[in-house]
Amino acid sequence: MSARSKARKRALDILFQSDVRGDEVAVTLAAEAKRAAGEPAREASWLYAREIVDGVIDHRDDIDEQISTHSRDWKLDRMPAVDRAVLRIGVWELLFNDQVPPAVAIDEAVELAKEFSTDDSGAFVHGVLARISRSS
Q: What is the reported pLDDT for 111?
A: 97
Report the amino acid identity of residue 134.
Answer: R
Domain count, the chain: 1
Q: What is the reported pLDDT for 33?
A: 86
Q: What is the reported pLDDT for 128?
A: 98
Q: Would the pTM count as exceeding 0.85?
A: yes
H-helix segments, 1-136: 3-21, 25-37, 43-58, 60-70, 81-96, 102-116, 121-135
Cα 88 to Cα 55: distance, rounded to the nearest angstrom: 10
Q: What is the reported pLDDT for 35?
A: 84
Q: Per-residue confidence of the chain (136 residues) as pLDDT tens digits? A: 788 999 999 999 999 999 999 999 999 999 988 888 787 777 778 889 999 999 999 999 999 999 999 998 889 999 999 999 999 999 999 999 999 999 999 999 999 999 999 999 999 999 999 999 999 8
Residue 56, domain extent: 3-135
Return all residues near 79 (Cβ < 8 A) that are at least 6 apart.
71, 87
Helix axes 25-37, 3-21, angle to 10 degrees: 130
Nearest one of 8, 3, 15, 14 to 41, comparing CA atoms? 3
Q: What is the reported pLDDT for 129?
A: 98
Report the amino acid identity of residue 102.
Answer: P
Report the amino acid identity of residue 1.
Answer: M
Burial of 49 (C-beta count, 10 Å sphere; 0-12/13-18/19+): buried
CATH number at residue 17: 1.10.940.10
